[in-house]
Amino acid sequence: MEEHVTHHVSCGLLVRAGRVFLVHRSPSKAWYPNVWDLPGGHLEPGETNRQALVRELREELSVEIAPPSGNALLTRQEAGLFLEVWRVEEWDGDIINAAPDEHDAVGWFSLDEALSLDLADGDYPALFKQVLS
């Protein structure tokens, strides 16, 4: 019997001064290698999507955020994946690449710059236009 595992993923779209923050996934990653993505990751057992986002941004970027309120910018369910993207405009701490094994580069990008990148998800350009226009 085939088992279908759904990956629950919560990501943050960090926005500041007309730019979005993206992380470049290491070429050695099994899933989505060598593309620009949003920081975030899988929910751990017993965690809510909001708790996972807080933990992931702490682990990956060394920043503290309040759990987001309201609705996610994007919610998508497909075979094997449940993805939520949350807009994040406030955090405590200076962003650093605290997970260099996962991301070999990080940076802030204007809309035009972000749209020129090899992105992990086809829905990202519309999200970037939504938050930066």
Kindly report the CATH number assigned to the domain that includes residue 78.
Answer: 3.90.79.10
Domain contains 122: yes
Give CA separation, 8 vs 42, 54, 80, 95, in Å. 6, 15, 9, 24
In a domain, 9, yes or no: no
Residue 108 forms part of a structural domain: yes
Task: Look at residue 106 and tell me if it is in a domain.
Answer: yes
Residue 8 lies in a domain: no
Structural domain count, the chain: 1
Residues 105 and 31: beta-carbon distance below 8 Å: no
Q: What's the token pair of residue 30?
A: 């099994």
In a domain, 107, yes or no: yes
Phi-psi sector, 62: left (phi>0), alpha (psi -120 to 50), beta? left
Spatial neighbors of 47 by CB under 8 A, at least 6 apart, are 55
What is the C-alpha separation between 124 and 67, in angstroms, rounded? Answer: 22
In a domain, 2, yes or no: no
Q: Which long-range contacts (CB under 8 A, 24 or more apart) does 122-131 make?
A: 123/74, 123/76, 124/38, 127/13, 127/73, 127/74, 127/85, 128/20, 130/73, 131/13, 131/15, 131/20, 131/73, 131/87
Q: CA-CA distance, 31 to 88, in Å (whole number)? A: 24
Is 69 domain-assigned?
yes
Domain that holds residue 85: 14-132
Give pLDDT tens digits along the chain (133 positions): 445 668 899 999 999 999 999 999 999 888 889 999 999 999 999 999 999 999 999 999 999 999 999 999 999 998 888 999 999 999 999 999 999 999 999 999 999 999 999 999 999 999 999 999 8
Show Cβ contacts of residue 48 under 8 Å, excluding neighbours closer than 6 positions.
Answer: none
Task: Please report the pLDDT score of residue 30 as a whole number.
Answer: 83
